[in-house]
Structure 1
Amino acid sequence: MQTKALRIHPKDNVAVALTVLYKGEQINQPALPQVEIQENIPAKHKYALVDLNEGDEIFMYGVLVGKAMSFIPKGGLLSIKNVKHASGSFELKERHTEWHKPDVAAFENKTFNGYHRADGAVGTRNFWIVIPMVFCENKNVDVLQEAFMKALGYAPKESPYEAMVQRMIREYESGNKEYDLMFADEDEFVLENKKVFPNVDGIKFLTHTMGCGGTRDDARALCGLLAGYITHPNVAGATVLSLGCQNAQLATLKEEIEKRDANFSKPLILLEQQKIGNEKKLLGEAIKKTFEGLAMANELERKPAPLSKLCIGLECGGSDGFSGISANPAIGYTSDILVALGGTVILSEFPELCGVEQELSDRCVDDNTAENFMQLMTTYNQRAVDVGSGFYANPSPGNIKDGLITDAIKSAGAAKKGGTSPVTDVLDYPGKVSKPGLNLLCTPGSDVESTTAEVGAGANIVLFTTGLGTPTGNPVTPVLKLSTNTALYNKMTDIIDIDTGPIIEGNETIEQAGERILNYIIDVANGNVQAKAEAGLHDDFIPWKRGISL
């Protein structure tokens, strides 16, 4: 018999439709109350398991996720018309750090080949980065990018899109107005360049819109984030361009680097335009010194490292009603395996932890860590309220359309990415992890800002779950996209790396999927497999301007 619906927790008074349920259909499954469906229920959406009166509390994942705004009959659809956001209160309670460690025998002796850094970290990639301290230098960074990328073999000499335009130009000039919109054959253009530095995975250019005109706190946070990238295990060295008069000063950047690595020894090129004067001289010096740095970086080679050297960022975006029951718990199990092996995982997106604060604070290793987490959650939510919003406003139109109708519903599923292990540390943005285990990092729910922050905190691989599809990537860390459903995986194979849809279909357990994901991570960490976001050059980088994003 096909499983048509799922109650996630025994305390839940709603169920998730795993397929379209039609009005009048009888749902009679083990562990579920017998229900006659009162109206069509789209897949991924929820229906009531009991009559819900106005004001009644609604539970999913065993926690409060909403309240009924009007009567919802047993078998009726939950929607934004009859449900509003609600979440439970939280306070400091006893520690609950016991957890059932997964069997890690299959992974105990596995390694990956990575780039060993002087501070003991190990990179899964070997990049050189070029960073502006302020948006005024973005144009100069763009000039450097144009100078380096094709010449060094990190960009195609001619992309299929350029070839397509060239074909249309030829047809236009010949008088043919019926343009061929198909891509040119591969033999009509060169897709690949030979790399000048084969041991350097790329040179990345991290432009942004900050550095001046904001608050001093914003400037300090930007310097901290940039320092996180400069000291990142996937980065061999950096070229930094400064104008000179901006809030984000090179002296502040140096301070933030020292906080993260007191014995910092990577090649670091710092150039200030107002001191050098001539723009042509500035760019010439940047090109010369960067080329020399790339030659040094090319001397590094991959060597074996234990899986405990992996630091995994946990992210979701374009989430749907299946996220919390397929992809998120699957990478949660992957997280538990990695923690049991001595590795590190980072769970961020604090607006998407609304409603599960009590569980996460109870899992913190000590009272100070728990209090830090609760204080960050409370302060962040209040800042959002002060500008006319709040965590309740986090779900996007796409989330709502696919069944995540309150922030607490979205959050209870999003938190599954963190698995079940104790919380070893809580970091404020733009902090860097220093303790193995599960780390909570305060970031927005905004996909790119959060991913940017996780990498700045040290993630050398990011797992990114999605139910709707998103191309998000990162300049220096592979971002692996996991679909919550097989239909999405088949539709967007150019941006999705891993399918967890078999969990929904009953063909794979969460544990099996979690182990499969970890094996894929090892292949990516070795450099044997490129993330789809890497291959597509999705180098998304957006620093968080505090207090603006949810």
Structure 2
Amino acid sequence: MNVLQIDPRDNVLVALQDLKAGETINFAGNDITLTTDIDAKHKFPINDLTSGDKVTMYGVLVGTVSEDVPAGTLLHTHNLHHAADPFGMDLYKEGEFQWNTAPDVSQFEGRTFQGFHREDGKVGTANYWIVIPMVFCENRNLRMLQDALLKPLGYAKSTKYADFAERMAEAATNGQDLTEITFESDESEAAKRLFPNIDGIKFLSHSMGCGSDRGDSDSLCRLLAGYATHPNVAGVTVLSLGCQHAQVSILQDEMKKRCPEFNRPLLVFEQQQYPSEEILLEETMRQMFAGLAKANKQTRQEAPITKLAVGMECGGSDGFSGISANPAIGHVTDVLTVLGARAVLSEFPELCGVEADLIKRCKTKTEAARFIQIMEDYNARAEAIGSGFSMNPSPGNIKDGLITDAIKSAGAAKKGGTAPVTDVLDYTEPLRRDGFTLLCTPGNDVESTTAMTGSGCNVILFSTGLGTPTGNPICPVIKVASNRTTAERHPDLIDYNAGTIIEGQETIQETGNRLLEMILEVASGNYTTKAVGLGQDDFIPWRRGVSL
């Protein structure tokens, strides 16, 4: 098979391999002669289109053509413009939605993983100590602690790049040809951890906390509270300057809302109360060693699969993402929903064009109304600064077949499967219901993964067509490639190849089930994701306000 019609309502086909002008494609008994080359992942119309005609893909409106486009002609930015159907509360009909495509979950009923049980009933898939600054002024102290603690505690990453740089410097000093210096991977064993049950100490550097409106600083406190009370966190060190907007008292109030029973080590240090940086850091390290020793006593114990909260993310997407990796992740969403676990779809700018489907899937009118309100408010803010959801696709997206935001969004939304929407949350709000949740985050990969973790996801599935190193400090991120080429080109980044769907070797359901098996291995600590192995600790809070 060299082309695919994703939905029977579509009037375009997707090339599954490179096609040349003059080739004849037989589709539904009709011959289509290609008028242009069509690279794999790109689209062409089944029938002749006249300027202004609608283009349908994934069964939804994704654009209109700006000129006449004969059948078999490449659709690209020069002849296809973004368009999406309007949406509103009139689309929601009480009790109308019936989930007729719920998956078979017999393979996962009663399954468990080995996790860290917390005082609030949640279960962690990892056990990290975090150090969080309340304001960017504390980032230097954060770095000082990082430099001081990681090596003696056994958490320092490989120094292979530093070793290479030292040998290059020596060669340059001696006038040696630098091309003769080869990179040597460090194959040495990892240092022995002083606290073996603590997976690492993570330092959440950021650029916020003061100098912006109070909305942003309060939002930061809520986000940090989500991390401090996260089931993957064993203990917390808080560094505060003292005079910033983001006060420790706000953080503690937000922590109490999320976890009233919180009993893990919480160490707070305010620099303006100490006579010197030296004394501050000395006391911080002394107390951290005692706290780490206490947290190290906790071990993994059996937990039901229902304790999983899995975030669904995509980045570096391509024209195959929406027909392989994302639908496989969507199957995982549906299985988790049936089992009573939690699945989370974020990136609201990448739901543009599929709002109608999500509105109809909301379990109650309340969720539908809130989803509409958040989407409209978010897009209005974007348009107020001269942007908007339609400007979402990146140059890499466009090059690889995602020509309009609606095309990108319709494919991205496949990560949400077909399950009913049980909840709709705004940024920094904690997960509160089992099933399938929509969480408002930006389309920015790291801002979104940062937010999903802050709301309580303990594993993240991240699909990518082009490859990306994105990770998170405390939540394991499983990278799922949409195609074999990317999986094999970036073995240091990719955990899972969903390209078997494109190749016809597996069904979406089979690939999704294998992926859920990997989630259980990751959640039990039996498989280290590539992002974790690289120390890819990406953390970017979303700045929604203005600088003052």
Provide the TM-score with structure 1 as the length reference: 0.96
Q: Residue in 1 aligned with 2:40?
A: 43
Rounded to whole Å, the distance in 2 between the matches of 1:386 and 1:533 is 36
- Counterpart in 2 of 1:467? 465
Shift of 1:547: 6.1
The offset of 1:33, in angstroms, is 4.6
Residue 14 of structure 1: aligned partner: 12
* Letter of the structure 2 residue corresponding to residue 184 of structure 1: E
Aligned to 1:214: 212
What's the counterpart of residue 120 of structure 2?
119
The one-letter code sitting in structure 2 at the alignment partner of 1:135 is: F
Give 2:132's aligned amino acid: I
| Superposition pairs of residues 511-522 of structure 1, within 5 angstroms | 511-522=509-520
**Separation of aligned partners in 1, 2:50 and 2:400:** 24
Q: Secondary structure at the match of 2:437?
A: strand
Query: Which residue number in structure 1 is paired with residue 144 of structure 2?
Result: 143
**For structure 1, which segment, 159-168 or 129-138, has the greater mean C-alpha deviation from structure 2 after superposition?**
159-168
- Partners of 1:143 and 1:298 in 2: how far apart? 23
RMSD, matched Cα: 1.4
**Secondary structure at the counterpart of residue 468 of structure 1:** coil
- Within a 5 Å distance, the mapping from 1:288-307 to structure 2 comes to 288-307=286-305
**Match of 1:245, as an amino acid?**
C
In 2, Cα distance between the equivalents of 1:99 and 1:118? Answer: 37
Q: Is the contact made by 2:38 and 2:74 (CA closer than 8 Å) also made in structure 1?
A: yes
TM-superposed deviation, 1:166? 2.7
Shift of 1:301: 0.5
> CA shift at 1:185, angstroms?
6.3
Worse-superposed segment, 260-269 or 329-338: 260-269
Q: Which amino acid is the alignment partner of residue 463 of structure 2?
A: T
Distance 1:498 1:218 in 2: 36
Q: Which amino acid aligns with 1:40?
A: D
Alpha-carbon separation, structure 2, partners of 1:76 and 1:100: 35
- Residue type of the partner of 2:176? N
Alpha-carbon distance in structure 1 between the residues aligned to 2:164 and 2:410 = 46
Residue of structure 1 aligned with 2:25, choices 10, 27, 31: 27
Matched, 1:242 2:240: yes
Letter in 2 for 1:110: R
Distance 2:260 2:417 in 1: 32
Q: How does 1:450-461 map to 2 (within 5 A)?
A: 450-461=448-459
Counterpart CA distance in 2 for 1:415 and 1:431 is 21
In the TM superposition, what is the alpha-carbon distance from 1:264 to its structure 2 partner? 1.9
Contact map agreement 1:168 1:180 (CA 8 A) in 2: no
Q: Kindly state the Cα deviation for residue 278 of structure 1 after the two structures are TM-superposed.
A: 1.9
- Find the residue that maps to 1:340 and give its secondary structure: helix
Deviations 1:376-421 (A, max 9, x none): 0000000000000000000000000000000000000000001111
**Aligned letter for 1:398?**
G
- The 1-side partners of 2:455 and 2:180 are apart by 47
Residue in structure 2 matched with residue 88 of structure 1 by the alignment: 85
| Cα-to-partner distance string for 1:214-249 (whole Å, 9 max, x where unaligned) | 110000100000000001010011000000111111
Please state whether the residue corresponding to 1:450 is helix, strand or coil. helix
1:260-339 map, 5 Å: 260-339=258-337
Give the Cα–Cα distance (whole angstroms) in 2 for the partners of residues 507 and 371 of structure 1: 41
What is the alpha-carbon distance in structure 2 between the residues aligned to residue 173 and residue 230 of structure 1?
Answer: 48
Q: CA deviation at 1:99?
A: 3.7
Q: Match of 2:166, as an amino acid? A: Q
2:191 to 190, 193, 197: 193
- The residue type paired with residue 124 of structure 1 is T
Q: String of CA shifts for 1:236-265, please: whole Å, max 9, x gaps.
A: 110000001111111111121122112222
Distance 2:79 2:177 in 1: 54
Match of 1:427 in 2: 425
Residues 282 and 33 of structure 1, relative CA distance in 2, 3 Å threshold? farther
Output the amino acid matched with 2:235. G
TM-score (norm: length of structure 2): 0.97
SS in 1 for 2:438: strand
Match of 2:129 in 1: 128
Report if aligned partners of 2:125, 2:458 keep a CA contact under 8 Å in 1.
yes
Deviations 1:167-207 (A, max 9, x none): 234434544334533223647xx552110000000000000
Task: Tell me the alpha carbon deviations over residues 104-155 of structure 1, each in whole angstroms, 9 at most, x when there is no partner.
Answer: 1111122100000000000000000000000000000000001111110001
For structure 2, list consecutive stretches of 5 or more residues without a partner in the other structure: none
Give 2:246's aligned amino acid. A
CA distance in 1, matches of 2:264, 2:29: 59
Residue 74 of structure 2 is aligned to residue 73 of structure 1 = no
> Are 1:112 and 1:305, in contact at CA under 8 Å, matched by a contact in 2?
yes
How far the C-alpha of 1:277 sits from its partner, in A, is: 3.4
Deviation for aligned residue 1:270: 1.1
Within 2, Cα distance between the matches of 1:217 and 1:399? 32
Equivalent residue letter for 2:252: K
Trace 1:243-258 onto structure 2 (pairs within 5 A): 243-258=241-256
Q: Is the 8 A contact 2:99 2:418 kept in 1?
A: no
SS in 1 for 2:208: coil
Rounded Cα–Cα distance in structure 2 between residues aligned with 1:308 and 1:300:
21
Matches within 5 A, 1:374-385: 374-385=372-383
Take 1:148 and 1:373, find their aligned partners in 2: how far apart are those partners?
44
Where 2:148 maps in the other structure, the secondary structure is: helix
Please list every run of at least 4 consecutive aligned residues from structure 1 whose deviation after the TM superposition is greater than 6 angstroms. none
